[in-house]
Structure 1
Amino acid sequence: MGNLVGSWRSREPSTVEECDSTWGSDSESDGPAAEDDSGISESISPVESERATGQSRDTSPQPTDSPEPTPKMKRSFYAARDLYKYRHSYPNYRKSRQPNEYRNLRFYMNKIPLVPDGIYIEEILTKWKGDYDKLEHNHTYIQWLFPLREQGLNFYAHELTQDEIKEFQSTREAKRRFVAAYSLMLDFYGIKLLDKSGKVSRASNWQGRFQHLNESHHNYLRITRILKSLGELGFEAFKAPLVQLFLEESLCNSTLPNMQHSVLEYFVYTIRLPATRRRLLRFACQHYKPPHAFLWGPPSKKPCGSSGVGLSSGIRAPAPTPEQRRREEESSTSVCSRIKVSSHDTIMCQDLAEAGPQGCPELQSNMSRQEWGKREG
């Protein structure tokens, strides 16, 4: 019996809709999270509103005069699945058989240096701030500053464990340095951390740094990692203010236009509380251009805020059969040129393409640690 329980694996989602509980309900609690003091109020989803009024959902196709966007964009299943696993605390996570050395915690206690550079956390915090060339071109520190329960591309960095997370969250010195590291990276991006609740604003150097960030797409991967790590180490409330700022700058102020898709496809979905995600997506919908191309709304056509801008019709097709999935995969090479892909996904594809056969999920595990250690996590 013990072996059967130990080998049980949670069923993983197979569609974007199964990965995304923002507008519905699943195991992600819709109640207020203990750590969520971001100040973003809870919104009521269309599903909840209909339940409260006793109205049934109309799932029939809705007529629309909005033309289809060209080229047509679509949501990334790989992004949705990755962030589903993160929000659900890696349901099929296997505890390592190696002794738990708490290397991430010891690094933040300034007891061991990051590998392979041999640099201690205090040196990074005191000497690297404002050294934007070093922060841009060094690709080994980010996995140490913002550890996760998943392997990055620096194989010298260690994955977090459940026990280490608990110990880290109860260690004041480690948490103090972690916030300082977060502030260091925000300054690199032209952003200032205002207080202990996680509120942020433009820094005095924002113009030059935003211009750089708008063209430096690999930093979007770093930001996704930073947001995930904030949630793992007890700073979930810090996420929403940063994502809100990125939405405002990319959609309203046009200072970070290249970041739009990454904010909506990745950054928003690192947030674990569905009500907070809904609030951010409603804000995004009101400012997204063209409105009919907005992909991240509820499954049925609903008004988006007071402006009355409609969300995408979102009529969900039945889940594809295994045979349909196989045919889609075989024909993907012929249609990929017609699909517009975000810069975030493009960077990931470029990393794989440079290393070997494109799209091979086993590629990373077959490469040498030294080669992958030079790449971004």
Structure 2
Amino acid sequence: MGNLVGSWRLREPSSVQDCDSTWGSDSEDEPAEEEPGSPSEGERGPAWAGEGDPQLTDSPELAPKMKRSFYAARDLYKYRHSYPNYRKSRQPNEYRNLRFYMNKIPLVPDGIYVEEILTKWRGDYDKLEHNHTYIQWLFPLREQGLNFYAHELTQDEIKEFQSTREAKRRFLAAYSLMLDFYGVRLLDKSGNVARASNWKERFQHLNESHHNYLRITRILKSLGELGYEAFKAPLVRLFLEESLCAGTLPNMQHSVLEYFVYTVRLPATRRRLLRFARQHYRPAHAFLWGPPPRKRAGGAAGGGGTGAGSSGIRAPAPTPEPPRRADDSRIILSSHDTVMCQDPDLGSGSARLKGALMLVGGRGERVEYDESFPI
């Protein structure tokens, strides 16, 4: 019997629907969906890509048929569920990630200690951009990345890390270091973030440096593993504002929605982020991450619940996630010195714009890549 239980494995998800439970428990606070159709004139914003392209207009009939990535959804499902089929133990004296953060061993293969990175690399953007071995050591995960000298976390090591003040202090310093690299600053111990003084230069670089989106996904995952789950929502919210509203990071839109949002473990927080995104996404009918339309009295809206919000594009069916202890009704807002989108659902944390908002949908070139590939 012991062998039978020890060898039992959870069924791997086989579709996006299996992986996404964001809207599964949303019965009390989601307004009824409108039937699929073209957005009203007041909802229309700038063209998604090139002006005048008949395939990228607000017409659902002319829009390209898009779908979510199963590989991304599966990767983030496993992360949110703590890698249910992953079993590997490690002796305490092999806690390489903790020992690295205690400044006792250097990262491999470079031979650099964490204190050197934290004190000498800040502001050295060329080094942070072109060195590809440090990120796996600064932001460890329970999965293997491209630096095979880096070690995966284990549950026991995570517990030790979270109880070690020196390691946690350096981890937050590493997070602040990377935020500065991206043109963002950490405001407080609650994880609130804002534009840094160097944001224009760094956002311009970030908009074109797509491999950094892989790094940001890893950073968000590592925050959750090491006890800083609450830090994710402010950063994701800021990137949603910048990519959907301010138009400073248009090329990041897909990554924020397909990857960054889904690193957040609490379904209610993901719903709030996605409602905000759906409100400002253009073209509105192409939004893939909303809930399926609800059935109305006398019939089903949108052909029996196969749409995604008001887009008419297939959306994932709910799969409930395990209950969490943390309060899932709270989201920390980012606040920064720029014009942000209005968002009545999330309160008054964002700056309000008097008059009409200029909504900039991603005009940048769409780059196809699989962000679930480990870094």
Aligned-pair CA distance for 1:343? 3.5
Aligned-pair CA distance for 1:187? 0.2
Aligned mates of 1:202, 1:317 — CA distance in 2: 34
Which residue in the other structure is 2:193 paired with?
200
- Relative to structure 1, the CA distance from residue 17 to residue 204 in structure 2 (aligned partners, 3 Å threshold; closer, same or farther) is same
- Specify the code of the residue in structure 2 equivalent to 1:345: Y
Which residue in the other structure is 1:345 paired with?
369
- Specify the code of the residue in structure 1 equivalent to 2:5: V
How many residues of Structure 1 are paired with residues of Structure 2 in the alignment? 296
Q: Decide whether the 8 Å contact of 2:229 with 2:264 is kept in 1.
A: yes
TM-score (norm 1): 0.74
Aligned mates of 1:134, 1:345 — CA distance in 2: 24
Q: Secondary structure at the match of 1:186?
A: helix
Q: Decide whether the 8 Å contact of 1:168 with 1:174 is kept in 2.
A: yes
Q: Decide whether the 8 Å contact of 1:23 with 1:278 is kept in 2.
A: yes
Aligned mates of 1:280, 1:203 — CA distance in 2: 22
The answer as to 2:310 corresponding to 1:311 is yes
Aligned mates of 1:99, 1:110 — CA distance in 2: 17
**Higher normalized helix content (fraction of residues):** 1
Which residue in the other structure is 1:3 paired with?
3
Q: Secondary structure at the match of 1:345?
A: coil
Q: Secondary structure at the match of 1:201?
A: strand
Q: Decide whether the 8 Å contact of 1:301 with 1:314 is kept in 2.
A: no
- Relative to structure 1, the CA distance from residue 168 to residue 69 in structure 2 (aligned partners, 3 Å threshold; closer, same or farther) is farther
Q: Deviations over 1:191-211 (max 9, x none)?
A: 000000000000000000000
- Specify the code of the residue in structure 2 equivalent to 1:24: G
Aligned-pair CA distance for 1:8? 0.3
Q: Deviations over 1:58-90 (max 9, x none)?
A: 9xx955345145332210000000000000000
Q: Which runs of 5+ in 2 are unaligned?
A: 39-58, 296-307, 318-364
Which residue in the other structure is 2:222 paired with?
229
Q: Decide whether the 8 Å contact of 1:147 with 1:159 is kept in 2.
A: yes
- Specify the code of the residue in structure 2 equivalent to 1:189: Y
- Relative to structure 1, the CA distance from residue 165 to residue 249 in structure 2 (aligned partners, 3 Å threshold; closer, same or farther) is same
- Specify the code of the residue in structure 1 equivalent to 2:209: S
Q: Secondary structure at the match of 2:74?
A: helix
Q: Which runs of 5+ in 1 are unaligned?
A: 26-44, 303-308, 319-340, 350-375
- Specify the code of the residue in structure 1 equivalent to 2:83: Y
Aligned mates of 1:63, 1:222 — CA distance in 2: 36
- Relative to structure 1, the CA distance from residue 197 to residue 279 in structure 2 (aligned partners, 3 Å threshold; closer, same or farther) is same
Q: Decide whether the 8 Å contact of 1:301 with 1:310 is kept in 2.
A: no
Q: CA RMSD in A?
A: 2.6
Aligned-pair CA distance for 1:311? 3.4
Q: How does 1:1-377 map to 2 (within 5 A)?
A: 1-25=1-25, 45=26, 47-49=27-29, 62=35, 64-65=37-38, 67-68=60-61, 70-96=63-89, 101-300=94-293, 311-314=310-313, 343=367, 345-346=369-370, 377=375
Provide runs of 4+ in structure 1 moved above 6 Å: none
Q: Decide whether the 8 Å contact of 1:62 with 1:301 is kept in 2.
A: no
Identity of aligned residues (%): 82
Which residue in the other structure is 1:321 paired with?
none
- Relative to structure 1, the CA distance from residue 295 to residue 159 in structure 2 (aligned partners, 3 Å threshold; closer, same or farther) is same
